[in-house]
Structure 1
Amino acid sequence: MLRQLITGAAIAGTLSLWLGSAVAHPVTAEPSEGVKASFDIIETEIVTKGDKAIFSTRVRGEAGAEKPAATGKFEGSGVYAYVWPTSLNSGDIGFDRDQGIVALAVTFHPDFDDAAYKGKNRDVWHPHWVVLNEDKACAGGLKVTDIPDGAKPKLPATWPGVPLLIDSPDYPTVLKGDRVDVAIPLSLLGGITSASYDGVTAGLKVNGNLHAPLLCVDNVFKVASGNLSLPGKVMPEK
């Protein structure tokens, strides 16, 4: 699905072309009975409040009610995610610049831990920064960007030690009722006050052969805008 919604050219740099139309706030969507209620986005937004940026998504059902089934092994295992694709640059979150689409993802995956400093997080919903790029080998058309063998990219302090452009910061994250909320200090997030965004719910899958692409977007449940056009504009909370 995402392969039809976003092109490799957009990933390479044309996200900036969408900024002129980034005027909607928040991004709202009509309910869809064809989507599981806990992933059926009806509103997503990013606002600034005091010294924090608040990422929020509201769904038709209970946020976090659906979780991927445990498989007992890392390879081939599943991940569920509430995602905010943004116009941020990968340099804004501690990686090298211009590496792909920057997204915040609140995830659950029962078969492995990917917390910073070898911590445990497989049994809770938790946030990640991810950098996404197109890969036709993935059912959903996108992957979390692989780090090639021998490469030495710039990495944030809370990178979890896996060969992916993924970060595992410890941001306050709450799933309650129909909402998912993440609070991020503005001091850690350069560029957010002028950013654009969208909302996505998705399933990801670890490659069963443990080679690149290692972590694919496997199934897109819903895109808030319908076309991944990043129509939301970060604004102060009203």
Structure 2
Amino acid sequence: MKYLALTALFLSLAAEPSFAHDIVSKKDKSKKAAFDITKASATTDGRLATFMMEVAGTAGSEKPKATGQLNGAKVESYVWPTSLDPATVGFDPKSGILALAITAHPDFDDTPLYDENQDGDPANDGKDWHSHWVVLTQDSKCGAGLKVRDVSPGVDMLPATAPMLPIALDSPGMSPILTGSTAKITVPVKGSEGISFDAVTAELQVNTSTDTPLLCVTGVHDVASGDLSLPGIVMAEKE
């Protein structure tokens, strides 16, 4: 029951907009410092949007341990759920919650178009931090009540840079920056000024059994707002 508050994300979009800009959160020694969010913000120049979160420890310092197989593979993530329509980046309209994520997972690679570590092999980079757009939907079979939406490539709309997996996941190839206490990512997206966002650190897990969603949110380290009310506002960059 601990993570049922995540479902408030879907109700929050119908609420009145907040007047907050950044999101500030107190440190919590009971949480892993690398995932304990202390601040989140987002800005746009009209063409590019930059999402940032600060944590109590060193951002990106903790990654999942390799299991040696796809089923049960763990994913660690820094995520910004937004009020943007999924169609903004090429998914089906109104199909769930569009979120930007920085993830790492040593057991598989879901960015086949890019060679993040520049070793000549584009299929071995999953362990390195990389970016995704994902569409989140509710599912009670997942530990935290959310999953990356299941899709059928060729039937459901997917962005041009999607790896054509049976989930609503895009691999835009934008390189995240994790340095010191800050995780930051800049992506091309129009119409983001004034939209709402939140910041979440979470663990996901791959499930290859037929009766379980392929990619579940299984646990939440921290939620910047505390209740996934999306109080942050993407602001125009100051000249």
Regarding TM over 0.5, the answer is yes
Structure 1 residue 193 displacement after superposition = 1.1
Question: How many Å separate the matches in 1 of 2:54 and 2:95?
Answer: 29
Q: CA distance change for structure 1 residues 224 and 200 in 2, over 3 Å: closer, same or farther?
A: same
Unaligned runs of 5+ in 2: 115-121
Cα pair 1:84 1:197 within 8 Å, conserved: yes
What displacement does 1:25 show?
1.6
**One of 90, 95, 107 as aligned partner of 1:111:** 107
Equivalent position of 1:17 in the other structure: 14
For 1:199-238, what aligned pairs fall within 5 Å after superposition? Answer: 199-209=199-209, 212-238=212-238
Tell whether 2:95 aligns with 1:95.
no
Bigger share in helix: 1
CA RMSD of aligned residues (A): 1.9
From 67, 82, 87, the counterpart of 1:86: 82
* Counterpart secondary structure, 1:139: coil
Are 1:138 and 2:135 matched, yes or no?
Answer: no
Cα distance in structure 2, aligned partners of 1:231 and 1:84: 12
1:212 to partner: Cα distance: 4.0
The CA distance in 1 between the partners of 2:127 and 2:28, in whole Å, is: 29
Question: Which residue of 15, 38, 43 corresponds with 1:47?
Answer: 43
Name 2:61's counterpart in structure 1: 65
Determine the structure 2 residue equivalent to 1:171.
Answer: 174
Letter in 1 for 2:146: L
Deviation at 1:134, TM superposition (A): 0.5
* Separation in structure 2 between the aligned mates of residue 116 and residue 234 of structure 1, nearest angstrom: 30
Q: Work out which of the residue numbers 113, 126, 131 in structure 2 matches 1:127.
A: 131
- After TM superposition, the score normalised by the length of structure 2 is 0.90
Q: For 2:46 and 2:180, locate their aligned partners in 1 and report how far apart those are by CA, in whole Å.
A: 24
Match of 1:34 among 30, 35, 52: 30
- More moved, 150-159 vs 114-123: 114-123
- Tell me what 2:119 maps to: none
Q: Equivalent pairs: percent with the same residue? A: 44
- Inter-partner Cα distance in structure 1 for 2:67 and 2:210: 15
Letter of the structure 2 residue corresponding to residue 48 of structure 1: T
Task: State the secondary structure of the residue aligned to 2:132.
Answer: strand
Shift of 1:123: 2.6
Q: Distance in 2 between matches of 1:156 and 1:5?
A: 26
Supply the distance in 1 between the matched residues of 2:45 and 2:86 (Cα, whole angstroms).
Answer: 23
Deviation, 1:171, is: 1.0
What SS does structure 2 have at the residue aligned with 1:6?
helix
AA matched with 1:231: P
Q: When the two structures are aligned, how many residues end up with a matched partner?
A: 229
Name 2:118's counterpart in structure 1.
none
The one-letter amino acid paired with 1:232 is G
1:172-221, CA deviations, whole angstroms, 9 ceiling, x for partnerless residues? 31100000111123xxx133112100000000001152654000001100
AA of the residue aligned to 1:174: I
- The answer to whether the 8 A contact 1:75-1:210 is kept is no
Q: For 1:194, what is the secondary structure of its paired residue?
A: coil
Q: CA 1:126 to 1:178, structure 2 compared with 1: closer, same or farther past 3 Å? A: same
Secondary structure, in 3 states, of the residue corresponding to 1:171? coil
